[in-house]
Amino acid sequence: MKLNKFIVIDFDSTFTKVEAFDALAEISLKDHPDQKRMVSKIIEITNQGMDGSLSFRESLEQRIALLSPNKRHLEQLIKVLRDKVSESFKRNREFFQTYADNIYIISNGFHAFIDPIVMEYGIKQENIFANRFQFDEQGNVIGFDKENPLSANNGKVEQLKRLNLPGDVYVIGDGYTDYEIKHAGLANKFFAFTENVERESVLKNADHIAPSFDEFLYLNNLNTAISYPKNRINVLLLENVHPVALELMKAEGFNVETYTAALDEAELCEKIKNVSVLGIRSKTQVTAKVLENANRLMVIGAFCIGTNQIDLKAATKKGIAVFNAPFSNTRSVVELAIAEMIMLMRNIPDKSAKMHLGKWDKSATGSFEVRGKKLGIIGYGNIGAQLSVIAENLGMKVFYYDKEERLALSNATKCKTLKELLTISDVISLHVDGRESNANMIGEDEFRSMKKGVIFLNLSRGHIVDIKALQENIANGKVGGCSIDVFPYEPISNNEEFVSELRGLPNTILTPHIGGSTSEAQENIGNFVPGKLMDYINTGSTSNSVNFPNLTLPILENAHRLIHIHNNVPGILAKINLILANNEINIAGQYLKTNESIGYVITDIDKEYDKEVIKELRAIENTIKFRVLY
């Protein structure tokens, strides 16, 4: 395809994420006894080359002498560099192929490792300008071609002069030598590329800053692979979500901002205005008011299991998909519950407290094994079911009650009513979800049905238990021990005092909502949720969404994908298809799913179409959100 401009791209730290010489040092000096000193010497020489105390050619000579590479090292280097191509270049492979005539690589590096990498992307060999090594017969590098302008100071400028390109020249690179081309009047625009490194001196001279190649293409109306540059998509991650999540979202090219704490409603109302992707844990309240301000928000990731901190109805109405991590910390909660049952059956909280006060109270009275005891699990979902299996392995007799039909695992026995479970259990553990109707589901009446001395655990959600009733029943001895991890009101930060009627009660373990807080769980969540968010953004897939109709979609190949979210009223699909038919657009695939409030329609269409049709689709009555994937 023809383009009326030429695009000049740098190689080191631009086309690839790394400086090739740094990678080469790791290879050629791998077994060198003085490797560390050699590497720092190379860095020193590089800097001297940059600050002008050495000429570029001298710095090149000295570095090559220290590296003493050979052909075998270069082969290994190529393998390394192949994996280090910048992510945004990888995803725009199609662009390089389409506009191959107009794309130039100009680098102070060497053909020997640049050509094999960039040519895989469709860049023409005759459009690659770089230095050339000279080898001896054994394949050792003994020097380089000193006639080549790129081996000298101001080499890129000289090279561009010689090329004399007939049209506008846009330079994209991370280094000062790239800017110099513009400074010399040989380029119309210089784009500082910051996906891999940011250099202050380069940034301040740039016409534009391109955090990714997508941004460059978007600014120049050249995007072929993605609809909208990811660096323009603002992601807000609150509550110290695991760093792996930040890494994953950054690697995808998003503009990510993080906070260690939760934000309150007013702060979030302000902050949310420019945010497209929100990541929270259990403290941030995403209220209807917050969502009113969230006009760019596409998706919320709850980096936890529960989602009752989010007004799901309001989110759905606004066409905002919500994802959580339903199983990532299941095991952590189960382990804590098991440990607490054992501790409570042995009166350990009180015994331990006394020991700290210097009181030795050795006695077996009131201490029991868990083996053979009846465990009643309320809510037999992910956590309840796993607890069932592990408790049974400890020799407990497991009973469960769930509103839904749930398969009994192993030898567990299903109870027909909650009352039945409450009456027979020695230990009761609550694992229902946090839906509103579960508020105070364990109150005075329920405690009355329990056995005297029952061990009671709540590691689910705070509002499910009537705390006053629990306190009274601990005080009057009905409840023989309890572990509570979740509370109707939980402090917003570690600086706030924890206020509760449960403080100071006997055989009572209180924990600050840490059932799921283990390193393993946080890492699992940190990996899982970004996957869901990115899948939704990149493909429209809603599998495992808590509020959207669940659609798992095929990968988009050679088509555009129209994503239409609408109020669930009859006839929308027909309207979409009528518009497509009137515009003679061929449908390659179509998927529809609805829930009680919204409809979700995905239509894959052929690539060539009149962009006007998008306006018509957007204008369909009852449309909530509409977007196109390239």
Q: Which amino acid is at 413?
A: T
Q: Which of 265, 350, 433, 490 binds ligand NAI (CB under 6 A)?
A: 433
Q: Which residue out of 111, 346, 431, 513 is catalytically annotated? A: 513
Considering only residues 486 to 545 of the shown chain, the ones binding ligand NAI according to CB under 6 A are 486, 513, 515-516
CA distance 171 to 153: 18
Q: Give the nearer residue to ligand NAI in terms of CB position, either 214 or 340.
A: 340
CB of 518 to ligand NAI, least distance (A): 10
Q: How many residues does the chain have?
A: 630
Q: Is 462 in the site for ligand NAI (CB under 6 A)?
A: no
- With CB under 6 A as the rule, give the number of residues binding ligand NAI: 32
Q: Is 490 a catalytic residue?
A: yes
Q: Which of 333, 338, 470, 474 binds ligand NAI (CB under 6 A)?
A: 333
Q: Give the nearer residue to ligand NAI in terms of CB position, either 249 or 432.
A: 432
Please list, residue by residue across 31-61, b when 16 or more beta carbons sit within 10 angstroms of its beta carbon and e when fewer do. Answer: eeeeeeebbeebeebbeebbeeebebbebbb
> Among the candidate windows 209-217, 231-239, 431-439, 494-502, which touches ligand NAI by CB under 6 A?
431-439
Q: Enter the tokens of residue 166.
A: 């007939």
CA distance 163 to 143: 25
CA distance 59 to 46: 6
Is 157 exposed, middle or buried, given 0-12, 13-18 or 19+ CB atoms closer than 10 A? buried
Give the HSE-up count for residue 351: Cα atoms under 13 Å, Cβ half-sphere. Answer: 14
Residue 395 neighbours by CB under 8 Å, 6+ apart? 370, 371, 372
Which H or E run includes 38? Answer: helix 35-51
List the x/- string, 268-307, binding to ligand NAI by CB under 6 A. Answer: -------------------------------------xx-
Q: Which of 318, 346, 431, 566 binds ligand NAI (CB under 6 A)?
A: 431
> Among the candidate windows 58-66, 148-156, 399-407, 604-612, which touches ligand NAI by CB under 6 A?
399-407
Taking the CB of residue 225, how many other CB atoms lie within 10 A of it? 16
CB of 627 to ligand NAI, least distance (A): 30
Q: Which of 211, 384, 481, 530 binds ligand NAI (CB under 6 A)?
A: 384
* N- to C-terminal Cα separation, the chain: 18
Q: Is 459 in the site for ligand NAI (CB under 6 A)?
A: yes
Q: Which residue out of 44, 490, 523, 616 is catalytically annotated? A: 490
CA distance 108 to 438: 66
Q: Which amino acid is at 534?
A: M
CB of 298 to ligand NAI, least distance (A): 24
CB of 40 to ligand NAI, least distance (A): 47
Q: Enter the tokens of residue 364.
A: 């077996």
Q: Which of 69, 253, 319, 434 binds ligand NAI (CB under 6 A)?
A: 434
Q: DSSP string spanning 247-289?
A: HHHHHTT-EEEE-SS---HHHHHHHGGG-SEEEE-SS--B-HH
Do β-strands 587-594 and 598-605 pair in parallel, antiparallel, or remain unpaired?
Answer: antiparallel
Q: Give the nearer residue to ligand NAI in terms of CB position, either 438 or 603.
A: 438
CB of 539 to ligand NAI, least distance (A): 25
> Among the candidate windows 92-100, 141-149, 252-260, 432-440, which touches ligand NAI by CB under 6 A?
432-440
Q: Is 461 a catalytic residue?
A: yes
Residue least distant from ligand NAI (Cβ): 381
Q: Is 466 in the site for ligand NAI (CB under 6 A)?
A: no
Binding residues (CB under 6 A) for ligand NAI: these are 305-306, 326, 329-330, 333, 378-384, 401-404, 406, 431-434, 438, 441, 459-461, 485-486, 513, 515-516
Enzyme catalytic residues: 461, 490, 513
